[in-house]
Amino acid sequence: MLANDFHIRMTPEEKSDLRAAANVAGMTVSEFVRRCCAGRTITARADTVIVNELRRLGGLLKLVHSESGGAYRSETTNALAAIIDFIRKLSGKKNN
């Protein structure tokens, strides 16, 4: 398939913002623009990495809770609630 050039006038700041947004999403500027124009969802690569790390930490907190026989129940409960709340904020979901 041959690539067709497409030129858009924008300020240097807009161009920099576009490149930064594509980089955060982990894709080229061309792919980012195609997805935006097609109305496809773009998930920031950084968000995915953060959510996976938060889930891992939640698992470790659960392990501490289990192995301590609940000795740190209130601390682990509060920490897990904070992790869940932050994951929901990242995903744009409201607390239920």
> Does 53 share its domain with 85?
yes
Report the distance separating Cα 43 and Cα 40, nearest Å: 10
The pLDDT of residue 92: 64
Range of the domain at 86: 45-91
Write the DSSP string, 7-56.
Answer: -----HHHHHHHHHHHHHHTS-HHHHHHHHHTT-----HHHHHHHHHHHH
pLDDT of residue 6: 81
Is the domain of 24 the same as that of 57?
no
If asked whether residues 49 and 87 sit together in one domain, one would say yes
16 — pLDDT class (breaks 50, 70, 90)? very high
pLDDT digits (tens, 9 = 90+) for 25-75: 888 999 999 999 998 877 776 677 788 888 899 999 999 999 999 999 999
pTM of the model: 0.49
pLDDT at position 52: 85
Q: Is 67 found in the same domain as 32? A: no
The confidence score (pLDDT) of residue 57 equals: 92
Please check whether residue 4 lies inside any domain of the structure.
no
What is the rounded CA–CA span in Å between residue 19 and residue 24? 9
